[in-house]
Amino acid sequence: MKRRTFLAGSAALIASSPFPATAQDDIKAAAREAYIYTYPMVKNYLTMYQYALEPGGSQYKGPFNTMASIARVYAPEDTAIITPNSDTPYSFIVFDLRAEPVVVTMPSIEKERYYSLQLIDLYTNNVDYPGTRVDGNEGGDFLITGPGWKGSVPKGIKRVIEMPTALAIGIVRTQLFSAADLDKVKAIQAGYKATPLSAYAGGQAPAAPPSADWPPISDERMVSDYWSIAAFLLAFAPPYPGDEAQRENLARLGIRQGVKWPGADVPPDRLALMNAVAVATEKEIRDNAGRLTDSSKLFGTPEIMKGQYMVRAAAAQGGIYGNSVQEALYVIYVFDAKKAALNGVTGKYTLTFTPETLPPVDAFWSLTMYDRPKQLLVDNPIDRYLINSAMLLELKKDGKGDIVLYLQHESPGSSLEANWLPAPSEAFYAVMRLYLPKAEALDGRWKPPQIEFAH
C-alpha cells in the first residue's frame, strides 16, 4: 500500500511538471541557462551580505544606506572582492531603495585628482558614474532612487539617478598619489555622505519596507543554497526588457518571485539534477573567465550588456564590479608572449614600457599582481602589490630609456628592486588598469606590451 501511494504521488508530480518525464536534457539546458542568468545577482549578493548584513564579519562595513570609507588601499587580507584595485582607497554603500531614495554627497576636489561613484545594480550592470568623467570634480548632491520612483525632487540636487533594482551597490574610488597623500584622501572621504531623502528634505521618514528574511550566504552556500538564494533575489530585481524569456525559463523550473525554493511542484530528482548542473555551469563560467584578456566588452550599462548573460557571468566571476570601458580599461595578463600560462614557480618575467608604449590615460594607470586561483593580492616582503604611473619618477630606466618591470617571486637584486612587482611562487595573473583611457587606447591604436618569459 505504501509503495502504491508513493508511486501515485510521483505520478502526480510528473503530471504537473512542465517537463516530460524523460526530459532530463531539457531540465539540464534550462537549469544551465537559469544559472548563467542569475549568477551575477547571487555573486553580487554575496558581497552585499558581507558588507551590510553580517555584523561582526571580517568584511562588514555598516548597515544599508550608509557610506563606509576605508582610508587605505586594499591588501591581501581583503577577501570580499576578487581582483581588487589597490590604487584608490575605497568607500562603499549598499543600497536598499525600497522605502525611499538616498542622497549621496560628493565633495569638491582638486582638478588633478580622479574620483568616481560607480553605481551598480543587482545584475552587476554599471548604471551611472557621478564623478570626474561625467560631472567633473565640483562635487554635488546626487539623488539615487529605486525603480519607478515618482516623488518630488528637493532643491540642491545635482542629478537624479534611477537604479533599475531595489538592491544596489555604490563604490567610490579616490585616487591616491602616494603614501604621503593619504591624509588628503582621508579628508576627501570624510566628505562622502549618504542621507535618506526624507532627512535631506527635512520631512517625515516613510514607513519601513517589509521585513526581509535575508538568507545567509558564503562561498559554501553559493553551492548548497544557490537556487533558494536566486529565487529570493528576484523580488529585488525587476526584469529588464528582453529578459522575459529568462524569467519564463526560471518559472518552468519552479523558481518564481515570492515563492520559497524548492516549492511543492519541484520533485527531488529535478532538484538533484539542478544542483549538479549548477556545479558544472559554475565551472563553465570560471573557465570562460580564465580566458578573458581585456575588459572592453565585459562591463557596461544595462543597454550595453543586454542579453549578454554569459559575458556578464564570466565578468562577475573574474572581476566583479569592473568599470565600464570609458571609465577604466583593463588589460588582463594570463599568458606570456608565447601563450604559456604565467607561473612564479617555473618562470621569471619582464614587461617593458618604451616611451611610446606607456599607457595613454587622462587619469592614471597601474599594473597589479594577483594569485590564482584565489584572485587576491599577493603577500610579499616589500608590501608592493602594484606599480603605477605615480611611481614613474622612482622607476629605473635602461640604457635605451625603457622601463623594464620584473614580475617574479624573488627579488631581481637591490639595484633593480624599484622595478620589481613581486609574484607568488605559484600561478598568477596581472591586470593593467587605464583610468580614463585616451582615444588611442579605446580604438586599438595603442597596443599594450606583452609579458616576456625571461628564464
SS3 100: coil
Task: Give pLDDT, residue 123.
Answer: 99
Q: Measured between alpha carbons, how far is 132 from 125 in angstroms, rounded to an integer?
A: 20
> How far is 223 from 216, CA to CA, in rounded Å?
12
Contacts of 291 (CB under 8 A, 6+ apart): 334
Domains of the chain: 60-200 (2.60.40.1610), 327-453 (2.60.120.1600)
411 or 84, greater pLDDT:
411
226: Cβ–Cβ under 8 A, 6 or more apart, which residues?
35, 42, 275, 278
C-alpha cell at 169: 551597490
Least confident of 10-19, 56-65, 212-221: 10-19
Residues 278-304 pLDDT 10s: 999 999 999 999 887 767 889 999 999
Computed over every residue of the chain, the mean pLDDT equals 93
Spatial distance between the Cα atoms of 150 and 360, rounded to a whole number of angstroms: 42
User: CA-to-CA distance for 171 and 67, rounded, in angstroms?
Assistant: 9
138: Cβ contacts below 8 Å, ≥ 6 apart = 108
| Of the listed ranges 24-33, 82-91, 439-448, the one predicted with least confidence | 82-91
pLDDT at residue 295 in the model: 76
Residue 158, H or E segment: strand 157-162
- Distance, in Å, from the CA atom of 82 to the CA atom of 292, rounded to the nearest integer, reads 15
Helix (H, G, I), strand (E, B) or coil at 75: coil
Amino acid symbol at 172: V
**pTM: predicted TM-score of the whole model, two decimal places:** 0.88
Residue 348: closest CA among 243, 251, 279, 419: 419
Write down the pLDDT at residue 242.
Answer: 96
Of the candidates 161, 167, 213, 210, the one whose C-alpha atom is nearest the C-alpha of residue 65 is 167
For residue 208, give the DSSP letter: P
CA 167/CA 96 separation, integer angstroms: 5
pLDDT of residue 94: 99
Residue 47 · residue 40 · CB < 8 Å: no
Distance of alpha carbon 445 from alpha carbon 455, whole angstroms: 30
Mean pLDDT of 411-420: 97
Task: Supply the DSSP symbol for 151.
Answer: -
Burial class (CB in 10 A: 0-12, 13-18, 19+), 243: middle
For residues 329-350, give the mean pLDDT: 94
State how far the alpha carbon of 83 is from the alpha carbons of 106, 130, 364, 432, in Å: 26, 23, 18, 11
Q: Per-residue DSSP letters for 268-325? A: HHHHHHHHHHHHHHHHHHHHHHHT--B-TTTS--TTTTTT-HHHHHHHHHHHTTPPPT
Whole-angstrom CA distances from 342 to 8, 369, 429, 441 are 58, 11, 6, 24
State residue 11's pLDDT score. Answer: 32
**Per-residue pLDDT band at 19 (split at 50, 70, 90):** low
- SS3 call for 386: strand
